[in-house]
Amino acid sequence: QVQVVESGGGLVQAGGSLRLSCAASGRTFSSYHMGWFRRAPGKEREFVAAFGWSAARTYYTDSADSVKGRFTISGDNAKNTVYLQMNSLKREDTAVYYCAVRTGVIIGTSVTATASYDYWGQGTQVTVSS
């Protein structure tokens, strides 16, 4: 079994910053990607960013309400941990943020799809106030 634990959420004013952490542990496994998703009130869970251990490649959402330029994902291989640094936070970033681990890559599946991930954390609440 693999445990995925998020931390770092909280309440912050608009324009502020938070750093989320996600640590994966448990039985020996190969993690190809670790990703961050979020679910805002009344909305579907959406992809935010992902980190690929091979070549330390990063992926970000291309949604209209993009986080590019504000959020940065990074990883620490030794700790099997990824981080999501969130700057210039907006009210619309308010959501429960989930971390997920993808242990294998099936051709034709996307790093941005929830179905591509095998293990999920419980989520951490991020609330941005005006």
pLDDT of amino acid 55:
84
Averaged over successive runs of 10 residues, the pLDDT of the chain (130 residues) comes to 94 98 82 94 96 91 83 94 97 97 87 95 97
The predicted pLDDT at position 68 comes to 85
Question: What CA–CA distance (Å, rounded) separates 108 from 112?
Answer: 12
Alpha carbon distances (Å) from 5 to 15, 103, 105, 124: 26, 16, 22, 9
Separation CA 82–CA 80 (nearest Å): 7
| Predicted pLDDT of residue 28 | 60
pLDDT of residue 30: 73
